[in-house]
Structure 1
């Protein structure tokens, strides 16, 4: 709601600015026109120029009353003066009360930032940062991991699939283990690229060479591609025209990036970007809470949990959360979820209470099965 009001304030300022610019620009054009006319009349007439200047002054006063421009500028200045106050109200510049004073390992922070630059293909900036931080080993490792990826992506921007196909062929076994059809998708794009050049025989030869190994699981898709051969000279007007959409390249590019990062054991999204985006969502409720609880700063610095519940979007939820159906408490490292021999799941502390720390068996609270603590197994989500 607060950001909506901020947006409204910005739109009001923008509207005033457009009106002011439009009026000023219009008046300036009229003034230039009148001055040009006066110059032409002075140059072509033998009359005294003073009378012409007096006539010009009169016309300029009629064209642009000074009060009109001053009024428009005054309205803009008022709107501009109010906007910073609205901005400061919503975007609190002092965020120190909403975070803890934690000591960070500067070496780790530098590596995280450098890794983010390398993910974005900003290798020179990453190298500069690591050089300043004197952490060359980390730079060499992280740079090599992502340099090949960006070379492949740059080639794909130029419709060159050779580097991508070479990488997919070298990692075909791992891609199959992950259940990925990336290798076929790349051949799919290369086949259509050849066909678009009008070389139907060459496209058929390419299909026979590269599609055979995928026929077992992807026959329907391969048959659709073979249908394209009938329309090689008018593919854009064929029932398969949608296969030529640039969105197909975007989809394959994203899939390749995901698989590349996956095989490296890295996340698709930059951890730094994710942390900042999640922090942006978390900051407003924390600031609001700490403003209300101004006297509880010390407690906030020492507590192990956030003082208020923070609802983040689904893209920031990476782990399953288990709540014990008996104690209604959320599982932790010290109180993990445990599966009973009957298949039901409780938290460890609940099981310990019911079994008197393993001294006796007990019945599952959800079925009549007798449970022994030694038969319980910890679950890993």
Structure 2
């Protein structure tokens, strides 16, 4: 499917629509002007007590409108718009298959689990009322109460941060400091650093120094550069915006800190940062077109792809949707599996185990690498782990 072709057709429809709308407005303005002229004439005649047949004036207006032919003027541009819309609709039907039922396998779905996933998606987006209503409709009003309360706490912290109130975030970070440290997170330092800058900007150097000694000194050995930068900013108390450290006041710092807190909060919950439902839908949107195309080919060959253990064609996804490494053997074009893992040859190239076995006659002889003139001993090949 060529998206550029669809875009060009859409642009033509938009252009025709604007032209038709402009012409219609022009005709309406013309009719309005004719009517206003007639009304002015009739009012002028009444004010001077002249006798004038109003019917004659209206007949003149009718004759003028018939001569103007407003409908005929609009028919041309409207016809062009209708033609463009018709062609655009046919183009969409040609390029977008609305029947996707053949592109997925019929499997038994645990409805309860699916409801949990949908409700949790609403809760992790902060849409608590929608999540509650959804569970009420499907008859499971109490099934996600725990997860809701956890995400409710997160959004209460984030809402406070929007108002530059770090107390709820600091309280949460302090109570989970050990777990955060184990995961390698430095968000506790970032929160205290932001609070330090906030105190400093308010003009209290002594208070800021006391805060640093109390909460920042434990990080001095592991984050010396960050601590030195904050200590240097003490010289510009109350005027950071005109100092070499003005970047500390950037509003984007609050946005990044909020995103980091959300990420670490989800991490401690054992949840992914991105909603599993949104990730699944994003992957499905990308995978659907090649699957539909493949389905049409298989229907022509009278083969049932749902019985296959592996698709014979790759389905490419964006890097952010790839959560583990995938190796496809350049010789057999098959994806590596536990039974057919990738093997590193002595020349540095990688093939799947079965390809090496076939080329070496089950390891009975040396074989030449298909990508370089190196002779390879199958016994010296090493399995790779991605």
Answer whether contact 1:200 1:232 (CA < 8 A) is retained.
yes
- Residue-by-residue CA offset, 1:256-283 (whole Å, 9 max, x unaligned): 1111111111111111111111111111
Q: What pairs with 1:1-381 in structure 2 (closer than 5 Å)?
A: 1-46=1-46, 47=50, 48=52, 49-50=54-55, 52-53=57-58, 56=61, 65-136=70-141, 138-296=143-301, 298-322=303-327, 330-334=335-339, 365=377
Which has the higher mean CA deviation after the structures are superposed, 284-293 or 296-305? Answer: 296-305
3-state secondary structure, aligned to 1:267:
coil
- CA offset digits 1:185-240 (Å, max 9, x no partner): 22233233334444444444433332212222222223323343444444334333
Query: Structure 1 residues 100 and 368 mapped into 2: Cα distance closer, same or farther (>3 Å)?
Result: closer
Q: Is the 8 A contact 2:119 2:135 kept in 1?
A: yes
How far the C-alpha of 1:246 sits from its partner, in A, is: 2.4
Shift of 1:171: 1.4
Q: What is the number of equivalent residue pairs in this alignment?
A: 362
Unpaired runs of 5+ in structure 2? 365-375
Structure 1 CA distance, aligned partners of 2:380 and 2:298?
49
Which consecutive residues of structure 1, in runs of 5 or more, have no partner in the other structure?
356-363, 370-375
Q: Distance in 1 between matches of 2:331 and 2:117?
A: 41
* 1:124-147 per-position Cα deviation (integer Å, ceiling 9, x unaligned): 322333334344553123223322
In 2, the alpha carbon distance for the partners of 1:180 and 1:97 equals: 45
- Matched residue of 2:143: which SS? helix
Deviation at 1:65, TM superposition (A): 4.4
Normalised TM-score (structure 2): 0.79
How many Å apart are 1:154 and its aligned residue? Answer: 2.1
Contact kept? 1:335, 1:348, Cα under 8 Å: yes
CA distance in 2, matches of 1:92, 1:325: 32
Contact 2:27 2:70 in 1 (8 A): no
Q: Residue 286 of structure 1 contacts residue 308 of structure 1 at CA under 8 Å; is this kept in 2? A: no
Question: Over aligned residue pairs, what C-alpha RMSD do you find?
Answer: 3.6
Please report how far the alpha carbon of residue 347 of structure 1 lies from its aligned counterpart in structure 2 after TM superposition: 7.6
Aligned-pair CA distance for 1:34:
4.3
- TM-score w.r.t. structure 1 length? 0.80
In the superposition, relative to structure 1, how do residues 85 and 158 fare at CA in structure 2: closer, same or farther (>3 Å)? farther
**For the residues of structure 2 that align with 1:166 and 1:12, how far apart are their CA atoms?**
57
Q: Which is further off, 99-108 or 275-284?
A: 99-108
Q: Matched residue of 2:282: which SS?
A: helix
Provide the C-alpha distance between the structure 1 equivalents of 2:284 and 2:119, rounded to a whole number of angstroms.
20
Whether the 8 Å CA contact 2:20–2:77 is kept in 1: the answer is yes
